[in-house]
């Protein structure tokens, strides 16, 4: 019954999409803004897992590719990010070759076809941002809307309980019987992914578009406070650490005028710590930090051993769980008496990519992430870039830190947000004098 309701919600999302483009126009901008503004709904299943487990995001991207192909195929040699075309092409080749050499090829092919939509989305977003240099403001506004919707969902989950969710079952770490605590996953299946999303999105509310009133600025800053409360409720230590490092990055990158944003976020962060006793949420979990590290280190060491067996192309995308089920059967959790679940990742996103796609795949992904991060950081230090780029870099850094403790690309919403941050960092135009307010 629950799954039927989810499929009905997915169908409603598709209907809503068609209504939106009928109202706004069948354009690339309309498709992009619907995806970003309706981000909480982009990971809903429209087919069963045995039919590929395709989502609402897949449908919209393939629709745009078919009916807006002219825009997709536009090539601007002066402004085109040719490096990323080569990187996506190279990663596609790695995915295919790893599938051909894999012990479990079926899942790899599904992973490949689910890789295509994010490329379609990124390509459309790059082209649109180059055509309209001010489009980034609409993108950030849409992301803020979807972020507020996700916070409202979290509030409802706190009020009505964990049964208020998109999933028939939630991640095994949602309820910790040892610590007797609940970690709220919000719109996500897993509380750790929720923490990553909250940390990334919070930095967007430190940006005030030109002409923003003082009242609206304070509302934006208040959202950061609610985001920190959400991170505490999610019990997410790594995203909280990533958020703090993101704030430190802002102090280095922003001019004195904008450092007040980071200072304000630090004050409300400290206030959140005082409001929530260290025995609760994310702070309660710090007591077991040493044991958690030793447990994760065991998984990391075994992941490196698996990688050493297939160092170039890996074991195939999506095959980690199948591999450990057959070859490393000590990697499991007993979610209830007599019921075991094998790990589908080694509690580290980078190591999962290394194991499944080899050093070749990890190198390509690293270039995709580090190239814009380094370019944006250097440009911001030289005061050559729009100040909003520093906020995007801080958001991206918060995710890169948290990704080291959990692989979160299972969920399209995380992947979409990361891809959007990367594209905006690379395409936001240089600032004009007196462009920013607040």
For every residue of 226-271, DSSP letters joined together read HHHHHHHHHT-HHHHHHHHHHHHHHHHHS-TTTHHHHHHHHHHHHH
Kindly state the tokens that stand for 193.
Answer: 């992914």
> Using CA of residue 242, residue 142, residue 171, residue 152, what is the dihedral sign?
positive
The pLDDT, as a whole number, for residue 10 is: 93
Q: % helix / strand / coil in the chain, to the nearest 5?
A: 70, 5, 30
| Residue 336 belongs to a domain | no
The pLDDT, as a whole number, for residue 261 is: 57
Number of domains in the chain: 1
Kindly state the tokens that stand for 254.
Answer: 């922003």
pLDDT digits (tens, 9 = 90+) for 246-295: 988 988 887 665 566 556 656 665 555 555 444 444 555 555 556 667 77
The pLDDT, as a whole number, for residue 435 is: 47
Cα gap 48→114, rounded to integer Å = 14
Residue in 209, 276, 240 with CA at minimum distance from that of residue 405: 240
| Residue 268 belongs to a domain | yes
Kindly state the tokens that stand for 429.
Answer: 């135009």
> Using CA of residue 305, residue 309, residue 314, residue 319, what is the dihedral sign?
negative
The pLDDT, as a whole number, for residue 372 is: 92
Cα gap 140→388, rounded to integer Å = 10
Cα gap 361→291, rounded to integer Å = 31
SS3 67: helix
Q: What is the DSSP letter of 55?
A: B
pLDDT digits (tens, 9 = 90+) for 175-196: 766 666 788 999 999 999 999 9
The pLDDT, as a whole number, for residue 68 is: 93
Kindly state the tokens that stand for 395.
Answer: 């958001």
Q: What is the DSSP letter of 193?
A: H
Give the domain extent around 373: 2-286+346-427
Q: What is the DSSP letter of 409?
A: T
Identify the segments of the chain with pLDDT beneath 70. Answer: 1-2, 75-81, 176-180, 255-292, 332-340, 432-438
The pLDDT, as a whole number, for residue 177 is: 61
Q: How far is CA 104 from CA 135, 171, 302, in A?
A: 42, 24, 19
The pLDDT, as a whole number, for residue 438 is: 36
The pLDDT, as a whole number, for residue 432 is: 61
| Residue 144 belongs to a domain | yes
Q: What is the DSSP letter of 48?
A: -
Residue 258: phi and psi, rounded to 5, are -95, -10
Strands (E), 65-221: 175-176, 181-182
Cα gap 435→421, rounded to integer Å = 21
The pLDDT, as a whole number, for residue 382 is: 81
The pLDDT, as a whole number, for residue 283 is: 52
């Amino acid at each position: 019954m629950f799954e039927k309701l989810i499929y009905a919600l997915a169908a409603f999302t598709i209907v809503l999409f068609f209504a939106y483009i009928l109202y706004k126009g069948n354009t690339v901008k309309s498709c992009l803004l619907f995806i970003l503004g309706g981000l909480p709904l982009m990971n809903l299943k429209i087919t069963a897992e045995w039919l590929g487990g395709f989502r609402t995001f897949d449908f919209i991207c393939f629709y745009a590719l078919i009916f807006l192909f002219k825009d997709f195929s536009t090539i601007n040699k002066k402004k085109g990010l040719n490096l990323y075309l080569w990187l996506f092409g190279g990663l596609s080749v790695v995915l295919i070759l790893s599938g051909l050499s894999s012990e479990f090829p079926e899942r790899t092919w599904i992973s490949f076809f689910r890789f295509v939509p994010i490329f379609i989305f990124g390509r459309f977003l790059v082209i649109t941002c180059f055509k309209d240099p001010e489009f980034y403001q609409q993108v950030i506004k849409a992301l803020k809307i979807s972020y507020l919707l996700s916070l409202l969902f979290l509030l409802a989950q706190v009020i009505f309980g964990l049964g208020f969710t998109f999933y028939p079952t939630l991640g095994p770490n949602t309820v910790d019987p040892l610590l007797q605590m609940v970690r709220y996953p919000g719109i996500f299946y897993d509380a750790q992914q929720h923490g990553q999303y909250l940390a990334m999105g919070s930095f967007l509310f430190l940006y005030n578009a030109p002409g923003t009133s003082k009242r609206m600025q304070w509302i934006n800053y208040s959202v950061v406070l609610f985001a920190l409360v959400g991170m505490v409720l999610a019990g997410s230590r790594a995203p909280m650490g990533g958020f703090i490092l993101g704030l430190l990055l802002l102090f280095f990158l922003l001019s004195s005028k904008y450092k007040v944003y980071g200072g304000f976020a630090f004050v409300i962060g400290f206030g959140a710590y005082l409001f929530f006793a260290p025995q609760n949420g994310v702070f309660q979990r710090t007591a077991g930090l040493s044991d958690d590290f030793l447990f994760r280190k065991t998984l990391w060491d075994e992941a490196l051993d698996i990688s050493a067996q297939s160092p170039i192309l890996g074991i195939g995308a999506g095959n980690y769980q199948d591999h450990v089920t057959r070859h490393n059967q000590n990697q499991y959790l007993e979610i209830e008496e007599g019921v075991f679940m094998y790990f589908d990742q080694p509690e580290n996103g980078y190591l999962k990519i290394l194991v499944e796609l080899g050093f070749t795949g990890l190198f390509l992904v690293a270039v995709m992430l580090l190239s814009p991060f380094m370019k944006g950081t250097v440009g911001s230090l030289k005061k050559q870039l729009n100040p909003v780029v520093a906020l995007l870099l801080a958001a991206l850094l918060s995710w890169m830190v948290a990704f080291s403790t959990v692989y979160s690309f299972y969920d399209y919403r995380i992947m979409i947000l990361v891809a959007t941050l990367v594209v905006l960092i690379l395409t936001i135009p240089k600032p004009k004098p007196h462009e920013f307010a607040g």
